[in-house]
């Protein structure tokens, strides 16, 4: 009974936490306009950590984006340190100055994007292959522009509301 009470209290406190919101960055510089930053060639390097913080995989990636004034087509090619190669093609539509929607073949439904100041938040559910099966992982993705060429991405990955991994990525615009 004590464990149930502790878990209930933990969920309550976590649910009441004052989480970071995209609008918190409205006046932060340099401004990140995601469709401009990801247009053309971008290089990326990342580390994947398990819920304990241990680095379990690393990758480098080539991104190539094409913005037509309404949508961004973003091709991503990942080279993981264990030899796995992975590709993803995003279609990201700009709804208005601050809101975006995105789709990719391994994304469940639509990703929701929010852009304010130096930050871009992307929320989506990704089908992640694990031992021959696809499992649904919820991504809470934040990209922060550092300067004209560098942005840093921090993503929290959750299953059933529990953090299962974190991803850190550095982007360099070419």
| Residue 157 in this model has a pLDDT that exceeds 50 | yes
Question: Taking a C-beta distance cutoff of 8 angstroms, is the pair 101, 112 a contact?
Answer: yes
Q: Of 9-18, 24-33, 43-52, 92-101, where does mean pLDDT reach its minimum?
A: 9-18
- Choose among 51, 90, 95, 48: nearest CA to 72: 90
Strands 162-173 and 40-50: antiparallel
| Residue 16 in this model has a pLDDT that exceeds 90 | no
**Greater confidence, 103 or 8?**
103
| Residue 21 backbone phi and psi in degrees, to 5 | -120, 150
| Residue 14 in this model has a pLDDT that exceeds 70 | no
Mean per-residue pLDDT, 10-22 = 61
Residue range 102-120, pLDDT digits in tens: 999 999 999 999 999 999 9
Q: Which domains does the chain have, with CATH numbers?
A: 22-173 (2.40.128.20)
Give CA–CA dist 167/169, Å, rounded. 7
| Residue 3 in this model has a pLDDT that exceeds 70 | no
Percent share of the chain, pLDDT over 70: 90
Query: What pLDDT shows up at residue 11?
Result: 46
Distance of CA 87 to the CA centre of its chain: 15
Mean per-residue pLDDT, 135-142 = 97
Element (H, E) at 126: strand 119-130
């Amino acid at each position: 009974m004590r464990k149930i009470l502790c878990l209930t209290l933990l969920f309550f406190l976590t649910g009441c936490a004052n989480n970071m919101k995209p609008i918190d960055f409205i006046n932060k510089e340099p401004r990140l306009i995601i469709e401009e930053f990801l247009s053309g060639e971008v290089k990326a390097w990342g580390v994947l950590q398990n819920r304990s913080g241990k680095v379990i995989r690393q990758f480098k990636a080539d991104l190539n984006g094409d913005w037509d004034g309404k949508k961004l087509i973003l091709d991503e090619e990942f080279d993981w340190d264990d030899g796995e190669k992975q590709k993803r093609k995003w279609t990201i539509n700009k709804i208005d100055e601050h809101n975006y929607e995105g789709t990719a073949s391994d994304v469940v439904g639509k990703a929701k994007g929010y852009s304010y100041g130096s930050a871009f938040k992307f929320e989506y559910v990704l089908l992640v292959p694990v031992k021959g099966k696809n499992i649904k992982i919820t991504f809470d993705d934040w990209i922060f522009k550092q300067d004209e060429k560098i942005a840093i991405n921090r993503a929290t990955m959750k299953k059933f509301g529990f953090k299962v991994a974190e991803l850190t990525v550095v982007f360099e615009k070419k």
